[in-house]
A and B are shown apart, each in its own frame.
Chain A
Amino acid sequence: MATVELRFSAQPEHVRTARLVAAAVARRAGVDEAVLDEVRLAVGEACSRAVGLHRSNDVTTPIRVVLTEEEKSFSIEVGDEVPGAGVAAADAVGVPGARAAAPAEDFDDADGEDEMGLAVIRGLVDDVEVSAGADGGTLRMTWPVSPADVLS
């Protein structure tokens, strides 16, 4: 079950809010202080990308951010509702066969700025999973936590 779930309309000004919430929940979950800057940056990149995808595809539904605290890990899932975008992202982060498995026309929305954001995520986060479906894509990032650091 999600620890915190956030939905925001696809406007650039809300990305900062998502960063602040994600960092606060990550800190509480026991993510190392030294890694919080990376969490903040990675979630910002994922949300900026989702906002860009929604806006360029005239999708009016909100962006979904799901923050989940588990025993030994903390994960952030950022979901967009643009079909095919996740496939392009999976390809960009190097998921084998992602591009081959998808119809060619699904890549038309991936642009250069999107790739730079994904490059930053890939450089920051070791555990990145991208999934794509007919309803949109999901980018899931996971960090380890040290349970001993969490105040009960």
Chain B
Amino acid sequence: MDLSLSTRNVTGAGGDRTVVEVGGEIDVYTAPKLREQLVELVNDGSYHLVVDMESVDFLDSTGLGVLVGGLKRVRAHEGSLRLVCNQERILKIFRITGLTKVFPIHTSVDEAVNAVD
């Protein structure tokens, strides 16, 4: 299954947020598409991103690298990148690599959108 991406803008408790809904497999082949999407959003001035990973079937270290890259980009603009994920097999990869300490991980889009630092 290929990667699917869609974005929508919502207003949460802390202001405007862009939700990026990701589906399918994020691997060495598809990760560049996600990178392009995140770069494009930041270039267009969206600095508060919520990446919804509930429909992601597979994630590898290339995908993690892209998410870390996205986080660095939004932080350069004092922005934020929050993840939404409840899938144990995906969460496990974040734990193994210690990235649970780097990304705020939420259980719902609603929670992530309304989170305030």
Seen from chain A, the residues whose Cβ lies within 8 Å of a Cβ on chain B are 12-13, 15-16, 19, 37, 40-41, 44-45, 48, 51-52, 113, 116-117, 119-120, 123-124
Contacts and interface: CB of A to CB of B under 8 A. Distances in A.
B10 interface: no
B65 A119 contact: no
Interface of A is mostly: helix
Contact of B60 (A13, A44, A123): A44
Nearest to B96: A123
Contacts of A117: 60-62
Contacts of B28: 12, 15, 44, 48, 51-52
Interface in B1-46: 25, 27-29
Contacts of B89: 37
B65 A16 contact: no
Given A40-B58, A48-B28, A113 B65 contact: yes
Interface residues of B, number: 14
B29 A12 contact: yes
Q: Which 10 A-B pairs have the closest CB atoms?
A: A123-B96, A12-B29, A48-B28, A116-B61, A12-B28, A117-B61, A13-B29, A37-B89, A120-B61, A44-B60
B93 A120 contact: yes
A120 B89 CA distance: 13
A45 B27 CA distance: 9
17 contacts: A12-B28, A13-B29, A16-B25, A16-B27, A37-B89, A40-B58, A44-B58, A45-B61, A48-B27, A48-B28, A52-B28, A113-B61, A116-B64, A116-B97, A117-B62, A119-B61, A120-B60
Interface of B: 25, 27-29, 58, 60-62, 64-65, 89, 93, 96-97
Contact of B62 (A13, A113, A123): A113
Nearest to A48: B28
A44 B28 CA distance: 9
B60 A41 contact: yes
A152 B102 CA distance: 47
B97 A123 contact: yes
A48 B93 contact: no
